[in-house]
Amino acid sequence: MEPDLAFAPAVALAGMVRDRVISPVELVDGYLDRIDRIDPHLNSFVTLDADRARDAARAAEASAGRPGTPAFHGVPIAIKDLHVTAGLRTTFGSKALADFVPDFDEESVRRIRAAGFVILGKTNVPEFGSLPVTEPLLHGPCRNPWDTERTPGGSSGGAAAALAAGLVPVSQGSDGGGSLRIPASNCGVFGLKPARGRVSNAPLFGDRLAGLSTTGVLARHVVDAAALLDVMAGYAPGDPHWAPPPARPFVKESATDPPPLRVGVVTSFPLAPFQREPLAAVESAAGLLTDLGHHVEPFALPVDAGVAEHFKLVWATGIAALPVDRALLEPFNAGLYDRGGTVSAPRLLQAINALQLASRTIVGASLAFDVVVSPTLAEPPLHIGEMRGLDVDATLARAAAYVGVTPVANITGQPSMSLPLGWSVEGLPIGVMVTGRPAGEATLLRLAGQVQRAADWSAARPPGG
């Protein structure tokens, strides 16, 4: 497979299949060959579904170009291993579920299949997605394609690493505290956490984490992210949260420049000092946005330490609520399991209510702007193993210092994205985060499309790409 084809937009590949310029079999075989050659150095995939992918590709080839074929007929994709896939091992990165093979798809996966995508396999995650690095004991660490001694981040670390290395054209992932935007920043790709309720979590998880987590997208090209969001978005019966339907498809928004926007820029955060390189990326991005005609001014997020404590309590109870054997959990999650198990129901409800009250304050203040810009992460990608061997409190403190502002949008439910606009002195990607108004993905995608057209990052490829 030629690298230019491997890194091509998913929507372009879909058009090539539709026009019979390339066959789904060629695409699937090409990406599987790249996985075979490149992924032993990255460990981004933990389960491959090569035989079924080839069968699906052959079936897609037979009907390619016919009227009524779905939009992404025969285009490969990867699914994060926190998401349930029928007939395909789903481990959640844990020894407790090392051999679990579900007999159903969760709603977002069902919609991805219905859109014609061919699932190549499942991507690496930290155990139950609880850490911002992807180093599960079950599967071993996932490595960043830009520097294999560094982490791609987490929890969608495998999804971002596979995408950055050209092993898939687009990746599905999810975000409960930054889990799409963190690896997007570390791997130099675009990551979008949609608004709360935009993508259904049906049928399993509902509101287990008080609405913190949602399924989203990793892509090199904004148009791909918008198109995949169009595929996954929408209410499913019984959803505890839902977002209003968009005025028009998100893919059309990504091709439309926004009007001049009022942009609030965050350059300090009381819970995590930003290092020099992330700040430099934000300053450069603010200059670009000014050049594009937007009005940029400083903004201070109204967040205090109490918000972080309530977030950690909800996170711990989410681990304690898992129907798994505690003895099979990794030490960090076992510690969270124990801690969460001691939280009373009234105390949990108090924490959830406190987060909701904080959300009103944060959203109310940020409504002075169309979007808020900040560093995605407080520092460049960590080294592999940097968070290993710490106790629970030290791990939580290190994670908080690393992820910076990312959990705020999970608390508020606002859509948020990471744009690959910066570089460290060591040549590592640095993301710039842009958070929109509630249910404001259309504005984010318009802005992201405009920025990519002005400063296209898609040609940047890691070593060996």
Catalytic choice (108, 155, 156, 418)? 155
Contacts of 420 (CB under 8 A, 6+ apart): 184, 185, 188, 189, 190, 429, 431, 457, 460
Residue linked to tokens 């090539």:
16
Check if 254 is active-site.
no
Q: 331-341 and 392-403 are packed helices; what angle lies between their axes, rounded to 10 degrees?
A: 100
User: How far is residue 446's CA from residue 423's CA, in Å, rounded to a whole number?
Assistant: 23
Residue 316, sorted as left (phi over 0), alpha (psi -120 to 50) or beta, turns out to be alpha
User: How far is residue 312's CA from residue 69's CA, in Å, rounded to a whole number?
Assistant: 45
Using alpha carbons, select from 63, 53, 62, 59 the residue that is nearest to residue 29.
Answer: 53
Residue linked to tokens 């219905």:
114
| Token pair belonging to 448 | 């992201």
Q: In this structure, are strands 295-298 and 262-265 parallel, antiparallel, or unpaired? A: parallel
Compute the Cα dihedral for 288, 257, 168, 175 and give only its sign: positive
Catalytic choice (80, 122, 193, 312)? 80
Using alpha carbons, select from 80, 75, 103 the residue that is nearest to residue 91.
Answer: 80
Q: 441-454 and 276-291 are packed helices; what angle lies between their axes, rounded to 10 degrees?
A: 90
User: How far is residue 221's CA from residue 194's CA, in Å, rounded to a whole number?
Assistant: 16
Q: Around Cβ 268, how many Cβ atoms within 10 Å? A: 12
Check if 179 is active-site.
yes
User: How far is residue 453's CA from residue 134's CA, in Å, rounded to a whole number?
Assistant: 31
Burial class (CB in 10 A: 0-12, 13-18, 19+), 263: buried
Q: In this structure, are strands 214-219 and 170-175 parallel, antiparallel, or unpaired? A: antiparallel
Catalytic choice (23, 108, 171, 179)? 179
User: How far is residue 465's CA from residue 461's CA, in Å, rounded to a whole number?
Assistant: 5
Are the beta carbons of 126 and 97 closer than 8 angstroms? Answer: no
Q: How are strands ordered across the β-sheet holding 118-123?
A: 45-48, 118-123, 76-80, 170-175, 214-219, 190-193, 416-423, 429-436, 371-375, 262-265, 295-298
Catalytically active residues are 80, 155, 179
